[in-house]
Every structure is written in structure tokens, then in C-alpha cells.
Amino acid sequence: MNTFVPELSLSQYMATMEQIFFVLTLEDGSWMAMATIAIRTDFSNSRYMWISELVVLPQYRSQGLGKILMEHIRKYAIQQQSKKLILYAGLQREQAHRFWTHHMGYVFKHEL
């Protein structure tokens, strides 16, 4: 069971927030796909990884780049001892929902 850590101050909590970028590039340095993640520690002192963005440029979609990025993110989360991955996708982003549910096997935890 997680326990609340009251001695964790707001500044200590904010200091635990790391933001990391994963980028897939071509040889010339131009990018094809990118993801932005943040490692957080909640007030019960459990680490989790929040995927705030995963973008594949239109001309590179359906080539498995999103899956490649997610595999790197998953491995990184394990290395960082994250207990869970959290992502948000706007309600209007139906194409993103299809990617997460059909191609990556994720399920909606809560839909507004």
C-alpha cells in the first residue's frame, strides 16, 4: 500500500519532475517522430511516467515509428523504476485513440 509522504514540500515535489524527449531522425537530422515524457513522483512517493506527446509526421505514419518510440519509452520507464505509464489524448483526437487502442493495446481508463 502506498503511503502519503507529508514531509515532501512543494519545492521538493516540483524538483522530482523530469522532462525527456525521444526523437527519431533521418540521417540529415530532420525528425520523423518524437515523444515528450515526464517522470513524476506522486505524493505517495511512487514514480510514474506521463506521456504528454507522441507525434509522427504524416508522411512517416503507418511505418511502425510510434511503436518503436513506445518500446523505447517502455524500456526507459522500467529503467527509471516507474510504476505506471499515463497518457492523455484529447477527445477529438480519434486517430490517436485508434493508434493507442488498436495498435498498442491500450484501453481507456476513463473517458469524459
For 57-109, what is each residue's pLDDT tens digit? Answer: 999 988 999 889 889 998 999 998 888 888 877 777 777 777 878 777 777 77
> Nearest to residue 53, comparing CAs of 16, 29, 21?
21
Sequence-distant (6+) residues with CB within 8 A of 91 are: 111, 112
Q: Give how far the C-alpha of residue 47 lies from the chain's centroid of Cα atoms, to the nearest Å.
A: 13
With beta carbons less than 8 A apart as the criterion, state whether 54 and 69 touch: yes
pLDDT for the residue numbered 53 = 84
The DSSP symbol for 3 reads -
- pLDDT value of position 111: 60
pLDDT for the residue 75: 92
Whether residue 4 is contained in a domain is answered as no
Q: Tell me if 3 is assigned to some domain.
A: no
Q: Domain total for the chain?
A: 1
- Cβ count near 20 (within 10 Å): 13
The parent domain of residue 43 ranges over 10-103
Has residue 17 got a pLDDT over 70? no
Q: Does the pLDDT at position 1 exceed 50?
A: no
Query: Residue 2 domain-assigned?
Result: no
**Band of residue 20 on the pLDDT scale cut at 50, 70, 90:** confident
User: In degrees rounded to 5, what are phi and psi of residue 45?
Assistant: 70, 25
What CATH number did the domain enclosing 39 receive? 3.40.630.30
Asked whether residue 5 is assigned to any structural domain, the reply reads no
Asked if residue 21 is part of any domain, the answer here is yes
Q: Is residue 110 part of a domain?
A: no
E strand or H helix at 32: strand 31-41
Give me the percent of the chain exceeding a pLDDT of 90: 11
Comparison of pLDDT for 6 and 25, the residue scoring more = 25
In a domain, 83, yes or no: yes
Amino acid at 105: G
Task: Decide if 97 is inside a domain.
Answer: yes
